[in-house]
Amino acid sequence: MSLQLLWDQIARQDAWEWIGLISGCIYVILAAYEKPSCWWFGILSAACIAWKSFTDYFLIADGVLQIFYIGIGVVGLVQWRRGQSQQTLKPVVTSSAFYHGVAIALCLVLSWPVSIGLVHYAEARYGYMDTVLTLLSVWSTLLLIRKDLHNWIYWIVIDILYVILYWKSDGILFALLFLIYTGISIWGFYRWRRHLRAGIAGELLQG
């Protein structure tokens, strides 16, 4: 794709894409800083992406995912603010490889029948890939609420695949958004890992 063609496609993006991109970037940055206010921006970004997924891109599973994000954003806001009200940050945690392996396997298996239904009844594009990313994103969001360090690893992989998915669907700004997400997720992983190690070191000193 030439730079001129890329610029022309970016120029054609509407307000929904721009609001989704800007609020989405703010959401991930604030999440990396462990700020409860991140969830407000996540809800706004999800609403914009849901509208475009249903009306323009026909990524049905992703549209449903964004609606889930709106609801789970409220849960995340409550959970993180509860920790803030207690004048302490919710601690960063980790889970075993087996725990993640089971979750990934379930997402891959469940995606097959769901994607067949979406392609057949809703004319969804990229049925299986769309559905796998949707289920993995749901799982990753639950890990984010739990403040599991590994949520960032999921997001790095998911975001790269969404770049491809939206690019192929001509959602240029959303492709750019998920490319930015990828970089922020890498940064978020290292930042949270540093906090986790500092917490473990503090517990050892207290012990």
For residues 118 and 60, the answer to whether their CB atoms sit within 8 Å is yes
Give the pLDDT confidence score for residue 79 in this predicted structure.
86
Per-residue pLDDT of the chain (207 residues; tens, 9 = 90+): 556 656 776 677 788 888 988 998 899 899 988 899 999 999 999 999 888 888 887 777 678 878 988 999 999 988 888 766 555 667 888 999 999 999 999 999 998 887 777 666 655 566 788 788 888 988 998 999 888 999 999 999 999 998 988 788 777 777 887 898 899 999 999 999 998 888 754 443 343
Give the pLDDT confidence score for residue 204 in this predicted structure.
36
Distance CA 180, CA 61 (A): 22
Contacts 24+ apart (CB under 8 A), 175-184: 176/10, 176/21, 177/20, 177/21, 177/24, 177/25, 180/21, 180/25, 180/28, 181/24, 181/25, 181/28, 181/155, 182/155, 182/156, 184/25, 184/28, 184/29, 184/32
Give the pLDDT confidence score for residue 3 in this predicted structure.
62
Q: At what angle do helices 127-146 and 60-85 cross, to 10 degrees?
A: 0
**Cα–Cα distances in angstroms (integers) from residue 155 to residues 141, 183, 186, in the given order:** 9, 10, 9
Give the pLDDT confidence score for residue 202 in this predicted structure.
44
